[in-house]
Structure 1
């Protein structure tokens, strides 16, 4: 049975976290064998994973993607979440969140020369012996097991609730034209930055304005590189008439081979979540939200779908955009 990365238990934390950081385990297949990329940091003279401290105004996934880019020049899509590690440093307890990151054949690794002076591709067993911090072996073993199960190579399908809209009671025009609140506009900008971590190639959204305006910043940042579809079945009005039709939007995304984001309204979420749950491998569906409001405005769930075999959700993560 597939499992999610184990959460940090309260009894395991003996002090408050002083330092938050995030990073990724770059991986590739070479002659059918799994290889991972270690980095050497001259400041510490150690072998580790690309990672770094959380900047103000960042979510953990954004931090991981930024650190990989800054340290080794890879602008990749984050894959499945891996276990978080915790260990003591001079400032106190440090918590590091990790993701898998697939490196394509044409991708070029470019150490920045300051934080990282060299890199080394190697197999899992060699990596386990070279890693200086034994805590770094934990996400490595998880990544290796995911590969063994055929659940490492994935694409994202993202379920997004639109950002905060102006109050329904104060709106006297057509419901489909109701706009985002000022805080919702800021949320939409944050959503646009967050979605770039997974870089979905397709955007499917309710045509009502508050949904379209939520995905607009991401579409603009993609600069014409994403396909956009307005799906009337995702509106609240259509859902009230024929609720089962909304689930078809999920089914169509599983029939494609690209990453996607699906933006809709709170009342539609339970039906869409049930549709996703049917596509989950055992043990994953139980992690999905089951109570109203399911997602807060601007919040999203990433469903990581295996690229080999029957399309199935092998991991999920629920993320809120950073709000100023």
Structure 2
């Protein structure tokens, strides 16, 4: 595994001739200073693997990963760093499985036997020997390498561009009052569902209507603490862009999972600040051209616990646009 990882994709993982898309997670914990992972045994296939499954209709990859872990092993999780995607042939064609790390110290309940009949916490070496599908070792090795490098335990800082708004040309009132378009309102519900995969405890947002409306469904569903700051608006950022950089420096120093909702013209300052907190290889993966993020799109920066303020992985997820 490289010193830092990135994953940029759409809500369904894109095309590339993939017949089946799936997602799952490598649940991990540390016991007696040893990294342990959670394996499942499926009686239907008589195999040892990771909790995973196919996307439901309209579901995003992160949502699928969280749901499958809950269904197969009964554990609620929050996603950590993205792990390597694996591909292998199945009857319909090529299957692509996206994986995330997920820290948990809980012992799962006894499986119901419908899909999984046994779960097992074990150290990496034993897991490597038990896994039935050789390709399942790839995310395991990446997980172990991240642990050895002190980059496995992270918290998320999520940058959200507000959802699609009514056109400026069709709005004659104050710019701060310009609302979301019909598509934007649907994107806001997507944002709510997707943010649940990381479940940030705090939301910081521009006070303009289109940002407040984008983040409202998540704030209501999660009861996250919401803070409105005028420096994230287009107008105040234009006056003093350094205030936005200082805000992100403070958020990175605090170490609290957070989502930040802002506007397209503010994003260059945000991304430049984030780049200062990661190595050059990862910074090269940041979106470099305008508009940087599509309406409703989010950039998830995974921040190291062992090295406070250091971003070690990135991923981006786009909303649908109908």
TM-score, scaled relative to structure 1: 0.94
* Counterpart residue number, 1:54: 55
Q: 1:5 to 1:276 in 2, by over 3 A?
A: closer
1:195-234 aligned within 5 A? 195-222=195-222, 224=223, 226-234=224-232
**Contact 1:73 1:112 (C-alpha < 8 Å) held by counterparts:** no
Q: Residues 258-297 of structure 1, C-alpha deviation per residue, up to 9 Å, x if partnerless?
A: 1000000000000000000101134211100010000000
Quote the Cα distance in structure 2 between the aligned partners of 1:317 and 1:233.
25
**Contact 1:234 1:265 (C-alpha < 8 Å) held by counterparts:** yes
Q: 1:5 to 1:233 in 2, by over 3 A?
A: closer
Shift of 1:322: 4.3
1:172-211 aligned within 5 A? 172-211=172-211
Q: 1:67 to 1:209 in 2, by over 3 A?
A: same
The match for 1:251 among 249, 252, 257 is 249
Tell me the SS of whatever aligns to 2:293.
coil
Shift of 1:111: 2.6
Quote the Cα distance in structure 2 between the aligned partners of 1:322 and 1:61.
15
Quote the Cα distance in structure 1 between the aligned partners of 2:62 and 2:52.
11
* Counterpart residue number, 1:275: 273
Q: 1:127 to 1:5 in 2, by over 3 A?
A: farther
Tell me the SS of whatever aligns to 2:44.
coil
Quote the Cα distance in structure 2 between the aligned partners of 1:302 and 1:83.
16
Shift of 1:323: 5.0
* Counterpart residue number, 1:34: 35
- Pairwise CA RMSD of aligned residues? 1.7
Q: 1:80 to 1:110 in 2, by over 3 A?
A: farther
**Contact 2:37 2:124 (C-alpha < 8 Å) held by counterparts:** yes
**Contact 1:47 1:132 (C-alpha < 8 Å) held by counterparts:** yes
**Contact 1:194 1:321 (C-alpha < 8 Å) held by counterparts:** no
Shift of 1:61: 0.9
**Contact 2:157 2:258 (C-alpha < 8 Å) held by counterparts:** yes
Tell me the SS of whatever aligns to 2:5.
coil
* Counterpart residue number, 2:155: 155
Q: What runs of 5+ residues in structure 1 fail to find an aligned partner?
A: 9-14
Shift of 1:245: 1.2
Q: Residues 166-211 of structure 1, C-alpha deviation per residue, up to 9 Å, x if partnerless?
A: 0111111111111000000000011000000000001000000100
TM-score, scaled relative to structure 2: 0.94
- Mapped pair 1:303 → 2:320: no
Question: How many residues are aligned here?
Answer: 315
- Mapped pair 1:73 → 2:71: no
Quote the Cα distance in structure 2 between the aligned partners of 1:289 and 1:68.
31
Shift of 1:311: 2.2
**Contact 1:74 1:110 (C-alpha < 8 Å) held by counterparts:** no
